[in-house]
């Protein structure tokens, strides 16, 4: 929620075109992939298996 609020604030308060459009990728990914953001933060897991820092391997003999 904080990231979304910050992006909206930057978009609304910016005086230049770059500042007004820079938050769009963040807002769009939050809109369509919020569950992935929340899983990264809450569970420290990457559903897409793209974040090597969040992937661990276990050998079960």
Q: Per-residue pLDDT tens for 3-60?
A: 899 999 999 999 999 999 999 999 999 999 999 889 888 888 888 878 877 777 788 8
| CA atoms of 53 and 59, how far apart (whole Å) | 18
Is residue 54 in a domain?
Answer: no
Is residue 12 in a domain?
Answer: yes
Domain extent for 16: 2-49
Instruction: Give the DSSP letter string of 1-31.
Output: -HHHHHHHHHHHH-SSHHHHHTTHHHHHHHH
pTM: 0.67
Is residue 28 in a domain?
Answer: yes
| CA atoms of 30 and 27, how far apart (whole Å) | 5
Q: What would the pLDDT profile of 31-47 be if each residue is shown by its tens digit?
A: 999 998 898 888 888 88
């Amino acid at each position: 929620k904080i990231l979304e609020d910050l992006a909206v604030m930057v978009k609304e308060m910016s005086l230049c075109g770059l500042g007004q459009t820079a938050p769009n990728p963040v807002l769009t990914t939050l809109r369509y992939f919020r569950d992935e953001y929340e899983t990264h933060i809450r569970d420290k897991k990457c559903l897409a298996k793209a974040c090597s820092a969040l992937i661990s391997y276990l050998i079960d003999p």
